[in-house]
Amino acid sequence: MSARRPIHLLIVFGIVAGVVLRLAWPDDIHYLGDEAWTFRHVEDAREGGSWAALGMPSSRGVKNAGMSVWVFIVLGMISRAATPPGLTRAVAVLAIIAHVAAFFVPLRLLKDEEEKKQWTWAIILTLTNPILIFLERKIWAQSVLPIFMIGLVIAWMRRDTRPGSLVWGLLGAIIGQIHMAGFFFAPALALWTKLFGDKTPDAQVAKKARWSMWILGSAIGAAPAIPWLLYLARDRPPANASEWWLRFRLEFYQYFFSDPTSMSGEYILGKDILTVMKYPIVANCPTYLVGVADGVLAVASFVIALRAVMGLWERRRDWKSILKGGGTDTGVLIASTLAGMGVLMTLPSISIHRHYMLATFPIQYVWTARAALRKPGGEKWLAVLFAGGLVVSAGILSYVHATGENAEMGKTYATQQRLGIAPEDAKPKPPAPTNPSGGAH
Q: Is the pLDDT of residue 256 over 70?
A: yes
Tell me the pLDDT tens digit for each residue of 42-71. Answer: 999 999 999 999 998 876 678 899 999 999
Q: Which tens digit of pLDDT belongs to each residue from 324-333?
A: 998 899 999 9
CB 265 within 8 A of CB 279: no
pLDDT of residue 433: 52
Higher pLDDT, 242 or 53: 53
More confident residue, 189 or 429: 189
**The pLDDT value given to residue 316:** 84
Residue 88 CB contacts under 8 Å (≥ 6 apart), including other chains: 26, 29, 137, 138, 139
- CA dist 86 and 239 (Å) reads 36
- Band (77; pLDDT cuts 50, 70, 90): very high
> Is 157 within 8 Å of 164 (Cβ atoms)?
yes
Predicted pLDDT of residue 202 = 47
Residue 355 binned pLDDT confidence (cut-offs 50, 70, 90): very high
**Percent of the chain topping pLDDT 70:** 92
Among 413, 424, 386, which Cα is nearest to 133's? 386
Q: In percent, how much of the chain has pLDDT > 90?
A: 78
Residues 6+ apart with CB under 8 A from 212: none
Strand partners, 282: 285
Confidence of residue 245 (pLDDT cuts 50, 70, 90): low
Beta bridge partners of 285: 282
Write the burial class of residue 189 (CB in 10 Å: 0-12 exposed, 13-18 middle, 19+ buried). buried
pLDDT value of residue 58? 76
Residue 202: CA count within 13 A, CB half-sphere: 5
Please give the pLDDT value at position 236.
72
- Exposure class string for 409-438: b at 16+ Cβ within 10 A, else e: bbbbbbbbeeeeeebeebeeeeeeeeeeee
Q: What is the DSSP letter of 326?
A: T
Q: pLDDT tens digits, residue range 126-159?
A: 999 999 999 999 999 999 999 999 999 999 999 9
Of the pLDDT bands very low, low, confident and very high (cuts 50, 70, 90), residue 224 is very high
pLDDT given for residue 430 in this prediction: 67
| Contact indicator for 429, 406 with CB cutoff of 8 Å | no
pLDDT class for 203, splitting at 50, 70, 90? very low
User: CB neighbours (10 Å) of residue 81?
Assistant: 22
391-441, pLDDT tens digit by residue?
Answer: 999 999 999 999 999 888 899 999 999 999 999 899 987 665 544 444 433
Predicted TM-score of the model (pTM) = 0.93
How do the domains of the chain map onto residue ranges?
Answer: 29-227+245-422
6 pLDDT exceeds 60? yes
Do residues 208 and 29 lie in contact, with contact meaning Cβ atoms separated by under 8 Å? Answer: no
